[in-house]
Structure 1
């Protein structure tokens, strides 16, 4: 965001039997102002509208004028008694850049630590397969947030970091089973060992994910605002995590060990 972002959530309350305002009605009332975007949060009597208006952020009088223009336009449409300004924030470009930079640093640091942990516990190729899988999950979540035009905030970053930790757990469980199967199974290729290990663990992966999704969906259904967005991003990340554990990590590991032979385990452990 290159300019100051004015986030002004306004709640439009029901007056008598008059229905609550819709997001289209709010947008229509502000159509005469430039650079305005409107997003509805919550449902029913808990509905609120987040209104964003860009300005250069250098002149306080301009910011106040912009805020008054929004309030007056809404008052003319819905009446002053039906409008409540919950909060007004002015966020500058430095804050936005700091959030983006901090998010990138946090994600990269997390990936690096996970890579170190996986390399110590397994071999480098399996560690890299696990890291590629969680990078895939993080990118899927960022793409979802961008596609749905959801607000990118610290809540979103928290959801991404949560899924990175959740997804690596699934992958590590499969890698542990591979290590055990290499010792006890007389299979000639690493692909066969991976297929066997996935078959043994697939029910555990699906049941665990579905159980966790039930809790996440309850958050999505019974909460509003940023918590609702957090739950939605988590759900997308969990589904992506199942896919990446089975297909992304597995495909890369099999590619790295395409020439693997059981005799190799005499020289090294997994």
Structure 2
């Protein structure tokens, strides 16, 4: 320990608390005023399967439809570059024929709509409700797990950290009006798992140092623990962000928002592990007494001479 240069992370804890409060309140205000730009997975729409006689680019199809006034359209390959899926708002039964005719006007070849399906808003509502319940259920289980493995004060910090990450990510999507579909929901669940993993590693070191170090108050022990885990955190977050940036830049529009949600989530999750999860331990006055392993009655009797 004498060779370790301890970084005073908690020196900025008051400033970080104010910053986090501003971010959460701002995110909630944005969600209430602007709402979420739900994708077709949640709002419903028409799915059209188009078959071309030669490979085409989805970006070109998307541009053609946007030029004709079709907004919030999802275009993706369906097994090959000739088989294209188009998801578009609306429930007009003639939409498939209209879209295939429109795309065929500037195409030197044949394009045909082979399947047209309508997904009603009831299905989207059910997906939205189930997704929200899934996140709440995951957070409840996480709270119980942290409280059982560590101590109740740790579970409060962990759940506030996860809620902070999710609210900020949702607020950013609302502010930028990025489309929220099932891939983004999956990214949010992945963010919860990533942030929790980082928090547990920090908590494990804090608990170990509370029992190991005989000197120092809670802030000093937390600073030592964060310093010891910093290298691992930077290595993990750095390599993860490199992969996500590659997906964001070169993965195509279909996973653009998915990668965006994960990039934001990994960044804010690393921050919250330090300045939300660990900071809450200071506010809740964590002490060595909270982490003392209780001695069983039989063990006490055995120690009596």
TM value normalised by structure 2: 0.67
Residue 70 (structure 1) aligns with:
99
Ranges in structure 2 where 5+ consecutive residues have no aligned partner: 1-37, 296-305
Aligned counterpart, 1:97? 125
The higher-RCO structure (CA 8 Å, 6+ apart) is: 2
Question: What does residue 247 of structure 1 align with?
Answer: 275
Alignment of 1:24-39 (within 5 A): 24-28=63-67, 30-31=68-69, 36-39=71-74
Deviation larger for 220-229 or 195-204: 220-229
- Does 1:53 find its partner at 2:89? yes
Q: 1:152 to 1:205 in 2, by over 3 A?
A: same
**Residues 1:39 and 1:267: Cα distance change in structure 2 (over 3 Å):** closer
Identify which range, 141-150 or 162-171, moves more after superposition.
141-150
Q: 2:161 aligns with which of 120, 128, 133?
A: 133
For the 8 Å contact 1:163–1:237, the answer to whether it is kept is yes
Deviations 1:207-228 (A, max 9, x none): 1111233344455566446455
Given that residues 9 and 86 in structure 1 are in contact (C-alpha distance below 8 angstroms), is that contact kept between their aligned partners in structure 2? yes
Compute the displacement of 1:265 (Å). Answer: 5.8
Q: Is 2:62–2:73's contact at 8 Å kept on the other side of the alignment?
A: yes
Change (3 A) 1:185 1:98: same
Structure 1 length normalisation: TM-score?
0.74
Which residue of structure 1 lines up, in the alignment, with residue 46 of structure 2?
6
Report deviation, 1:254.
1.4
What whole-Å deviation, never above 9, does each CA across 1:42-80 have from its counterpart, x for those lacking one?
Answer: 8xx96978452223xxxxxxx32233223333333x137
Which position in structure 1 is the counterpart of 2:284? Answer: 256
2:207 alignment partner in structure 1: 179
| 1:121-152 CA-partner distances (Å, limit 9, x unpaired) | 11211111011111222223333444352341
For 2:119 and 2:50, the matched residues in 1 are separated by: 17
Q: SS of the counterpart of 1:214?
A: helix
